[in-house]
Amino acid sequence: MEFRNYCAKINEMTARVRMAENGAQLVSRLEGRQSLRDIEPNIFPVDGGPGQGDVVEFHGLEGTGKTETLYHVITRCIMPVQSGGLEVAVVFVDTDYHFDMLRLVSVLEGRLAEGSKEGDGSENESEERVRSCLCRLSVVHCNSSVQLLLTLQYLENTFSSQPSLGLLIIDSISSFYWVDRFNGGESTVCQEANLRKCAELLDRLRRNYGIVIFATTHAIMRNYASDPGVSEVPGSSSSSSSSSRRWKAKKLISSCTWTALDIFPRILDL
Amino acid sequence: MVILREGICPGINEEFIKALQSEDIKTVEDFVSCNPEELAQKCSLSYKALVAVRRVLLAQYTAFPVSGADLYEELLSSTAILSTGNPSLDKLLDSGLYTGEITELAGSPGSGKTQVCFSVAVNISHQLKQTVFYIDTKGGMCANRLLQMLQSKTPNMEEQMEALQKIKVLRVFDVFSLLACLQNLRSNGLQKASVGGGSVKALMVDSVSAVLSSMLGGKQNEGMSLLMQVAGELKMIARDFSIAVLVTNHVTKDGNGHLKAGLGQSWSHVPRTRVLLQRIEGAETSSLRTATLTKSSRQACHLVEGFDLCHWSEERRTSISGKRKLEERSKP
């Protein structure tokens, strides 16, 4: 009788430990993810790319190439090593239904064709290669900041159980700004509440699991100090009048951002 | 914000909710953000119950990831390109309107946006035999004009009537009814229409700026929030039902005096492709127009093509090159 109670207690305790983390998950958490330091030589300096747990923000007006850059980054990650890729799994969170799979596949096909030196020729083979690359990519669509928060919570399990997942992309994290701002009423705390929770969660994810996070933000506030015109550089945020207009969600992301990139049309030459 | 209520998921009863409220947890997102172990200690609720409820709530409200390969298969089978019927416009749009995307036509009053919408609708319903939903916010929908266009394509009365039946017109005159209409379409309208015979392949909103621009401006946030909600609905409809969405917009001038599409920077991210329609200088009374591609993910921008509104299916012999357009613009 006593022995049975004792066994039941041990079972309960080990069951609780099992709920937390199993051995493989522990190892994957401690070992770390694959390094993404040479992910994009055109943007980051040699060996100066994002390390484990870095957050990179792409900010710019429309048409400056933020999503296009992400397609190139994704391609580099999901391609096999013999074609010049990193074989890292990627999760893409699409908040404004902007993700164009057909465009991504055309970029991927171009890169694979470059990578394979002998003319493979056969169409089936190239289709197979594209498909095997795409298996490393998962796409999630979110249509509200609440859903974004809950999805990130759900993805925490995915990150802990898949050590090959090294990159989380959120495009774009600013799409719920106006809706949240209206729903929050007068108080800025209420307006920012969901995005603040998302930022805290992302901070936890990058610290605990060492994943790299790329996020894009749209430039939605016009900087009246210097009108952008057609292709000029948007005014810097150093002027006092415009800095107060910079929206608060960007400040939240900046609090855990180590590198921020402003994409200008002239510099990007991919 | 999703408020925790009884019956929202099995395992949540009144005492559960009361215990959580004592810890100031009223919404699903607060509950999911908390650590269940700490919560179990503070609220005297069982840890297992908390974890189970958390799992069910996450399963209910989360969006699930889709593998890239599956998404690609789905898109390959469901994406279509709808020809507009006008060879010059097709050249600009890279063979036509793509389903799953929003295309925008911007132009000043009288530049022909509504006529282009009519021509495209007639082409889709008559040539391609697909159903078109036309949301009219300006009162510019004229069935006689549609009939006139059809009569120039075919003398057969039956064919004309069949094509007219495939164009479904919805009239809304303010942004709240537009939102209600779009939500209705998304929840059951589009499925009903496709069951009746003929799949819905296009949705046109003429014009989206007529209902939104009056809500924008000043310090109010409601207008921007409504704009983003309309954008979200249009995108969800385009993506989930594989429909080509065509919207029209007015134009304003930017700091350098050049024409640009209205509704501001937040809206400018929404359409995937944007075409600017203009009259030809010096020929204001003719039906000739120029179309400039100002935003595209597939072609180089600032391609210009000319076309004639009256002769929709004919190809224009001479097209105005980009260089000449710049010269015209720089004239005082």
B58: nearest CB among A102, A150, A220: A150
Our CA-based measurement puts residue B133 at a distance from the nearest CA of chain A, in whole angstroms, of 21
Residue type, position A211, single letter: I
Read off the pLDDT band of A230 (50, 70, 90): very low
The hierarchical CATH code for the domain B72-308 is 3.40.50.300
Return the SS3 of B283. coil
- Residues in chain A within 8 Å Cβ distance of B301: 63
Percent of chain A with pLDDT over 70: 68
pLDDT exceeds 80 at position A52: yes
The three-point CA angle B65-B66-B71 to 5° equals: 150
C-alpha B227/C-alpha B213 separation (Å) is 9
**Domain regions of chain B by residue span:** 14-61, 72-308
Asked whether residue A12 carries a pLDDT value surpassing 80, the answer given is no
8 Å CB contact of A149 and B29: yes
The pLDDT value recorded for residue B196 is 64
CB contact under 8 A, A96 and B235: yes
How much is the pLDDT for A178?
A: 87
Strand partners, A171: A94, A216
Comparing CB atoms, the residue among B1, B225, B265 nearest residue A182 is B225
As for the ipTM of the complex, it is 0.82
The confidence score (pLDDT) of residue B170 equals 93
Contact: B62, A68; criterion CB under 8 Å: no
Q: How far apart are CA B27 and CA A180, in angstroms?
A: 16
Q: Do B65 and A139 touch (CB under 8 A)?
A: yes
In this predicted structure, the answer to whether residue A253 has a pLDDT above a threshold of 70 is no
B window 26-65, beta carbon within 8 A of A? 28-29, 32-33, 51, 57-58, 61-65
Contacts of B245 in chain A (CB under 8 A): none
Residue at token pair 């002239």: A266
Residue A242 tokens, joined = 């415009």
Among candidates A149, A173, A159, which has minimal Cα distance to A88? A159
**In chain B, which residue's Cα lies nearest the Cα of A140?**
B65
At residue A20, the pLDDT reads: 55
Q: Examine the pLDDT at A92 and tell me if it is beyond 50.
A: yes
Lowest-pLDDT range of A47-56, A155-164, B5-14, B86-95: B5-14
Q: What's residue B317's pLDDT?
A: 52
B326 touches chain A (CB under 8 A): no
Size of interface A-B (CB pairs under 8 A): 140
- Residue among B72, B232, B238 minimizing CB distance to A143: B232
| Cα–Cα distance list, A112 to A86, A104, A125, A269 (Å) | 13, 12, 11, 20
The pLDDT assigned to B328 comes to 42
* pTM of the complete model beyond 0.90: no
Structure tokens at B164: 């007219």
Give A236's pLDDT tier (boundaries 50, 70, 90).
very low
User: A-contacting residues of B 264-293, CB under 8 Å?
Assistant: 264-266, 268-270, 272
The stretches in chain B having pLDDT less than 50 are 318-332
Pairwise CB contact (< 8 Å): A96 & B232: yes
Closest Cα in chain A to B101: A98
- Nearest Cα of chain B lies from the Cα of A105 at a distance, in angstroms, of 8
Residue A117's CB is within 10 A of a number of other CB atoms, namely: 6
Whether A220 and B265 lie within 8 Å, measured CB to CB: yes
Distance separating alpha carbons of residues B203 and B168, to the nearest angstrom: 10
